Amino acid sequence: MTTNLQTNSGGVSVQVRGLRRSLGGHEVLRGLDFEVKPGEIFVIMGPSGSGKSVLLRHIIGLEDPDAGEILINGESVHGGEVLDKYRMALVFQSGALLNSLTVGENVGLYLTEHQLKSPEEIRRIVAEKLEVVGLKDTEAKMPNELSGGMKKRAAIARALVIEPQMILYDEPTSELDPLSAAVIGKEILKLQERIHVTSLVVSHDRELAFGIADRIAVINEGRILAIGTPDEVRRSEDPTIKKFLTADFKL
């Protein structure tokens, strides 16, 4: 069976309203409220254990909150129908490439498994998406032949094959050297200009956050301390935020 994936429509909006979640008797998310605009690069930053990853799992529907709700384009994600309706892709922290498959097979896996395109069309799409992220002619390579930064870019290419309306990045620069991390930041910006997808980035990388974000939400102990443009966050008088922004503080 061959069907056509819909083209990107400029991104989706995300509304998080009064989100609460407790795990093991500990309140991890404490009434979060914020909105991500269509086509925006929205970065959630904060120290380890602040609730960033738990929040991400709620947005993609892997967990249900104890209270509150998450809306995609005004529709609740709870129940699963909305997640089937909108095209959302997750770029995992590790890249999550399958070592038994070539780079090209990894990138085209979703299309192949769901028989959404002919083999010839899948090869064309895979080559196109790999070129977009600067990995032209790497289809035949195995994941262990790629550097850490190249694996992250291959994971982004894999996300692109579904023409996503939103891409969620989980610590996209973790374990990368500064040069490779800068390349990932440039790729996120380039995609934003090219396809206007909504990008939600969870990161502890200050340089990435302030280099790519339209807006930043600073989260700590399950609460949002501030939301604003990079300049607005830098100007915050909140002492905790000032501490987070010092070079010697480990997020």
What CATH number is given to the structural domain containing 41? 3.40.50.300
pLDDT of residue 80: 65
pLDDT at 67: 95
Query: What is the average per-residue pLDDT within 82-95?
Result: 80
Question: If you average pLDDT over residues 191-202, what whole number do you get?
Answer: 88
Q: Which residues pair with 217 in a beta bridge?
A: 44, 227
Do 67 and 42 share a structural domain? yes
pTM: 0.87
Residues 175 and 159 in one domain: no
User: Which residue range forms the structural domain that includes residue 107?
Assistant: 93-163
Q: Is the pLDDT of residue 173 over 50?
A: yes
Task: Note whether 175 and 227 are same-domain residues.
Answer: yes
User: H/E element holding 89?
Assistant: strand 88-91
pLDDT category at 248 given cuts 50, 70, 90 is: low
Return the percentage of the chain with pLDDT > 90, whole number: 50
Read off the pLDDT band of 111 (50, 70, 90): confident
Measured CA to CA in angstroms, residue 156 lies from 159, 171, 182 at distances of 5, 13, 15
The answer on 120 and 177 residing in a single domain is no
Largest interatomic CA distance in the chain: 58
Residue 94 three-state SS: coil
Q: Are residues 185 and 250 in the same domain?
A: yes
Residue 40 maps to a domain = yes
Q: Quick check: is 2 in a domain?
A: no
Q: Average pLDDT of 29-52?
A: 91
| Last residue of one domain, picked from the residues 118, 137, 163 | 163
Residues 240 and 176 in one domain: yes
Considering the domain architecture, whether residues 192 and 145 belong to the same structural domain is answered as no
> How many domains does one find in the chain?
2
pLDDT score of 230: 95
Q: Are 227 and 34 in contact (CB under 8 A)?
A: yes
